[in-house]
Amino acid sequence: MQGSFAFTCSHAEMALVEEAFQASYDLQDGRPPPGPTPEFLAAFPPTAPDDPWSGFLAIFDDSDFPNFGVEFEGGNTLDQPGVSIISLWSMTDFQPGALGGLIRHCCQGTLRQAAIGFEWSFSCSRPRRSEFGGGWCTVFADRIEIETTGEALSRAIEGGII
């Protein structure tokens, strides 16, 4: 899957996103990450009392493979020094569910002001049925909504919209 999007958030939220990415890199490489910060534990409360990373790992479809599937870049600009800008992109393994979970857990202040949304696509190098599509994700402070184009198409056909 492919996707690319950017959003603004507070510097504290950006720090949580950076900590989450570093933890995912360490966990993927089989290294124990440094202990989570108190802010990280508040954003990702542990689901298992003996594992401080369990709340974080719960946002992934496979907790044994904590990968967001994207490149991550963050910073700020001269024209917006009071906020951080996070850019996420990938041409191969974009993980919308994990990314939605990351944003919902790390960016609560920003999400209380406005939802954050993004789209993704997938394709095939050959013209095969059902090998093209995509979807969208909208992250709110209290929930994540995800839908694929296949689901939307099925609903439209069933409803006689098309």
CA 138 to chain centre: 10
In angstroms, the CA 112 to CA 73 distance is 23
Tell me what the mean pLDDT of segment 155-162 comes to. Answer: 77
126 confidence band (pLDDT: 50, 70, 90): confident
Residue 161 has pLDDT above 80, yes or no: no
- What is the pTM for the complete model shown? 0.91
Q: How is residue 130 written in tokens?
A: 């059902």
**Across the chain, what does the average pLDDT equal?**
93
CB 104 within 8 A of CB 139: yes
